Amino acid sequence: MSEGVESASNGRLGGTVAIVTGAASGMGAAIARKFVEAGASVVLADRNPAGERLAAELGAAARFQLLDVASESQWDDACSTALAAFGKLTALVNCAGIFIPLPMLETDREQFARSVDVNQLGVFLGMKAAAPLIADAGGGSIVNISSGVALRGIAGMFAYSASKWAVRGMTRCAALELAKHGIRVNGIYPGAIDTPMIQLNPAGFNDAIVATMPLARMGTPDEIADAVTFLTSAEAAYITGAELPVDGGGAI
């Protein structure tokens, strides 16, 4: 059954089986919750075991899986959990991320490598592990959460920016390569979203960012979840390779 027909017959995300990384908190948790509300079954994947509480709260449509996104074997485990629990895999949301807000000259090799491992390598390994299963299910969707910093240069976030630019490039390439398998690959580019991660910025930094935005406020995790839900649904069946800023107009 095609993605569009299946979704239409069972609700907005009915029939969707997704892995959402970084699902223990912040944007990932909001995405997992929104997916279940829309009729999807979800594997909440995170290295933080607190995600197990959210999975229990979400009920029979949710499972928790410990996942270090930089581990290829743990990605295999997450995919196996989806198949064992729900019989297939049709969607992947790469939301896990690490944020080290330092300028280039203050970033050491280990900090840069950790940013690459989580933000870039994790997305690659996730797409590589999930894409064959999504293809076997008849097609589906991958959404990669990049960042507004991947749409422009920004000082003071060197490793984070570099890794999120890489996600942008991988998303475009994967969209081209996976289209023949019926897999759509799109990117979300969040701006200043009110999560614990953004509180790592220096004092006053977030206020300065908000002051430059036409909508003049921080976004919420639910607003990112709404955008991801749209791109995963049949409503976006003719959208692939898209770059969707959800940033209050910051990319204008």
The pair of structure tokens assigned to 114 is: 């950790």
Whether the CB-CB separation of 38 and 64 falls below 8 Å is answered with no
For residues 141 and 222, give the distance between their C-alpha atoms in angstroms, rounded to a whole number.
19
For residues 245 and 28, give the distance between their C-alpha atoms in angstroms, rounded to a whole number.
17
Pairing of strands 17-21, 140-145: unpaired
- Length of the chain, in residues: 252
Give the number of other Cβ atoms within 10 Å of residue 153's Cβ. Answer: 9
Catalytic positions, please?
A: 160
H helical segments located in the chain = 3-10, 26-37, 51-58, 72-86, 109-115, 122-136, 158-178, 205-211, 221-232
The pair of structure tokens assigned to 112 is: 């840069």
For residues 54 and 91, give the distance between their C-alpha atoms in angstroms, rounded to a whole number.
19
The pair of structure tokens assigned to 100 is: 């080290």
- The percent of the chain in helix, strand and coil, each rounded to the nearest 5, is 50, 15, 30
